[in-house]
């Protein structure tokens, strides 16, 4: 369904097009390529000079071999080198450390559709006194943790719904 016409006059300032392509390779790996094109309806200055209105600025989907050679080694993907050694090995990932509240705080305070599934993911962290303390301190920002932190508040509610008297 098309958008309604704008209620205020406007002028185009910038067009950006993104195209992503995924290629499955014969060796079982994937190549992902992205193409980005920017077009502006007016002349504008770049460090390399002035780009004329309507002239597209395009990012190359694959950098040149010369560019790759000048990249720091840690930017290069060396996983294909190890493929033969690990292809048929089933290894469980090792947890580096338990997440701290500070590390996950932005996620726990995100909008409800993002943060609600995280309750189950980090439920065991509520046993840690420091993590639990921060959850309680910031409970207003993520109220779904109330049932985990204070289950006793909800036990009576469950027995009332079942038609049982509390404590029986």
pLDDT in tens, 23-54: 998 988 888 888 889 999 999 888 888 999 99
Residue with the larger pLDDT of the pair 159 and 15: 15
How far apart, in whole angstroms, are the C-alpha atoms of residue 117 and residue 145? 11
β-strands 30-39, 15-24: how paired?
antiparallel
pLDDT at 32: 86
pLDDT at 61: 66
Query: Within 10 Å of residue 115's Cβ, how many Cβ atoms?
Result: 18
Closest CA relative to residue 118, chosen from 131, 153, 152: 131
Is pTM beyond 0.85 here?
no
Sign of the C-alpha dihedral computed for residues 66, 67, 70 and 72 taken in this order? negative
pLDDT at 133: 97
Total residues belonging to the chain: 168
Tokens of 1: 């369904």
Q: What is the mean pLDDT of residues 9-28?
A: 91
Location of structure tokens 């305070």: 109
Residue with the larger pLDDT of the pair 67 and 110: 110
């Amino acid at each position: 369904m098309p958008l309604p016409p704008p209620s205020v006059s406007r002028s185009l300032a910038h067009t950006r097009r993104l195209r992503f392509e995924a290629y499955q390779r014969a060796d079982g790996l994937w190549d992902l390529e992205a193409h980005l094109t920017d077009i502006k309806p007016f002349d504008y200055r770049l460090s390399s000079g002035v780009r004329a209105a309507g002239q597209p600025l395009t990012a190359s989907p694959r950098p040149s071999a010369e560019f790759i050679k000048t990249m720091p080694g840690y930017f290069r993907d060396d996983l294909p080198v190890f493929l033969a050694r690990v292809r048929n090995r089933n290894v469980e990932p090792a947890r580096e450390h338990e997440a701290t509240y500070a590390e996950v705080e932005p996620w726990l305070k995100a909008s409800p559709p993002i943060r609600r599934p995280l309750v189950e993911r980090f439920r065991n962290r509520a046993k840690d006194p420091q993590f639990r303390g921060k959850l309680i301190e910031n409970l207003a920002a993520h109220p779904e943790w109330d049932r985990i932190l204070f289950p006793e508040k909800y036990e009576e509610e469950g027995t009332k719904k079942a038609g049982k008297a509390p404590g029986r």
